[in-house]
Amino acid sequence: MNIYIGNYWVPFPSSEYGGIWTVIAENEAQCVELLKGGAWDDRYEDKIAGAVADSKRFGLTGDPSPMVVDTFYT
């Protein structure tokens, strides 16, 4: 499992100040799917994969469950 930390994918002015998200996922594909399930603006859903590819990622030990850990969007 990895923890992914990335920038919000919705451009200005739809997102005035951007944002950040943190997800625990096995791989990029799972991370994208978890983010697609959120309650944010789906008009920009096609940009999620790019945001995940550009994210920082760190390996995790133990057996954490895949999940959206936290989000902050404007």
- Neighbouring residues of 71: CB distance < 8 A, sequence distance ≥ 6: 8, 19, 20, 21, 22, 38, 40
Question: CA-based diameter of the chain, in Å?
Answer: 40
Q: Which residues of the chain have pLDDT under 70?
A: 39, 41
Q: Output the pLDDT for position 39.
A: 67
Q: 44, 10 in Cβ contact below 8 A? A: yes
CA distance 60 to 15: 30
* Per-residue pLDDT at 72: 87
pTM for the model = 0.88
